[in-house]
Structure 1
Amino acid sequence: MKTLRLCFSPCPNDTFIFHGLVSGRVPLPGFALEPLLADVEVLNGLAAEGRADVCKVSVAAAAGLLDHWLLLRAGGALGRGVGPLLVAREPRTIQSLDRVRVAIPGARTTGNLLFGLVCKEAGIAAQRVELVFDQVLPAVARGQVDAGVVIHEGRFVYESMGLHCLADLGEWWESRRNLPLPLGLIAVRRDLGLDTARAVNRAIRASLESARDEAPGLWDYVR
């Protein structure tokens, strides 16, 4: 039986999707799974280095992976009103961020790509500081950086830390493209073959359906 290294983030979106597979409730015939949960930028790096078999990646990173990875239809994340936020300790304009320190959750993340597009439109060049996604809000709150791009659950808790939203980067995208914001995708190594990719895609769909049926142990795993 072949082992597949299954890599995804600990954010609730991913743990909800993959609980069925990781728990064994949803089988992937012919394969054993080796789960690894990691920060989204770590995942982008694992995919770039070929150190995963099935991997969640940022949409911003996906274009650079297509020679060696297949993108699946199942398990991706896109939507409206769920994009990254640009936050700071006090209200300020985007233009005021020129040449100041702004924390980003990784160079290959969709959040960083959007921030770069906003900077280009505003004609500024911020000094980007790479941090693990869950370190961005504390760094902004402590004044270690002047602003930060927050992803995942950060958009729901920044106000409780006394921070202000300077821009909703997802809304910025939607207002200019009139499309949902694509955030993440599931990729499978090309050298595993189309049959394996299709089997993984089917299993992820089944795992998601299992989660929607609130399989036993789901919410403890998501938390």
Structure 2
Amino acid sequence: MTQSAAQPLTIAYSPCPNDTFVFDAWAHGRVPGAPAPAVTFADIDITNGMAERGESDVLKVSYAVLPWVLDDYALLPCGGALGRGCGPLVLTREPGAAKDLAGKTVAVPSERSTAYLLFRLWAAAEVPGGVGEIRVLPFHEIMPAVRDGLVDAGLVIHEARFTYQNYGLHSLADMGEHWELTTGLPIPLGAIIAKRSLGAERLRELADAIRTSVRMAWDDPAASRPYVLEHAQEMDPRVADQHIGLYVNEFTADLGEDGYAAVRGLLTRAAAEGLVPPLGPDALEFA
């Protein structure tokens, strides 16, 4: 695979441990034949917006944003985050029930995030009368905002599953648990997309590079550790390891039949509720 030095391949993903673990080998030139990518680190709300504006060749985005970007971007069959037992949580200061959220203010990491889409599907079924104000905050600000009473509840993702007790918070509901119980499918969270204008051959090569990077990380986890911890925002190394163990799995290497079924299931269900535009029949096809 070749890439013009004048036009380096641009990629944007989060500084979270699962992303830095997955992309370490590629970002540091250890994947044979892969171009050296120009990396931008950004929170998921930022990368979702970048995708809608076409600002990078390759991006980690929320699956929920796909209906707005698949005309220009292709979903790559690897590198993303799906799984079981890894869904977003709704946190509150005091123990409670779903009905307690009626009319309340809830902080979310992005209005186009998969977490928020799962939350909306859950709330439609479980919160009579619906919630009140939705406030978008960077995900690392959500737990402090709930703790400090700035919002009534917060929708959290990633390592917050392991650390919310440190803030004295309680898990009101698990969006992933609700999704798995009602569908039997894994939870689709983060997707890797690439510009269709790169061409089918280049897209296949990029997918191969990402798969190789994932496998190299599994084969030698110690090699990625400096990169992971450098960008983990002072995260406890044990939490970083738990984060990687939860979000980097067989679906990261290849979506497979169950992975694609989960993505189609989420977006079809959301479209039926009027939450996202409907997908075309071939929208998820790769290269």
Shorter-chain TM-score tier: over 0.9
Instruction: List alignment gaps of at least 5 residues for structure 2.
Output: 230-287
* 1:88 alignment partner in structure 2: 92
* 2:66 alignment partner in structure 1: 62
Q: Report if the CA contact (8 A) 2:27-2:36 is conserved.
A: no
* 2:47 alignment partner in structure 1: 43
TM-superposed CA distance for 1:216, in Å, is 5.6
RMSD: 1.2
Aligned amino acid, residue 141 of structure 1? R
Alignment partners' CA distance in 2, 1:41 and 1:201: 23
Aligned amino acid, residue 84 of structure 2? R
- What are the superposed Cα offsets for residues 53-79 of structure 1, whole Å, 9 maximum, x if unpaired? 000111111122111100001102111
* 1:19 alignment partner in structure 2: 24
Instruction: Give percent identity, aligned residues only.
Output: 45
**Mapping 1:24-173, distance limit 5 Å:** 24-29=29-34, 31-122=35-126, 123=128, 124-173=130-179
Output the TM-score relative to the length of structure 2.
0.75
Alignment partners' CA distance in 2, 1:27 and 1:134: 35
Aligned amino acid, residue 102 of structure 1? V
- What are the superposed Cα offsets for residues 164-184 of structure 1, whole Å, 9 maximum, x if unpaired? 000011001000001110111
Instruction: List alignment gaps of at least 5 residues for structure 1.
Output: none
Whether 1:200 aligns to 2:221 is no
Aligned amino acid, residue 186 of structure 1? I
TM-superposed CA distance for 1:32, in Å, is 3.3
Q: Report if the CA contact (8 A) 2:64-2:114 is conserved.
A: yes
- What are the superposed Cα offsets for residues 46-100 of structure 1, whole Å, 9 maximum, x if unpaired? 1111001000111111122111100001102111111100000001221121121
Which shifted more, 207-216 or 73-82? Answer: 207-216
- What are the superposed Cα offsets for residues 189-223 of structure 1, whole Å, 9 maximum, x if unpaired? 11111111111100000101110111664111112
Aligned amino acid, residue 56 of structure 1? K
Q: How many residues align?
A: 222
Q: Report if the CA contact (8 A) 1:119-1:126 is conserved.
A: no
Alignment partners' CA distance in 2, 1:153 and 1:215: 19
Q: Report if the CA contact (8 A) 2:98-2:172 is conserved.
A: yes
Cα 1:195–1:169, aligned 2, differ >3 Å: closer, same or farther? same
Q: For 1:165, what is the secondary structure of its paired residue?
A: strand
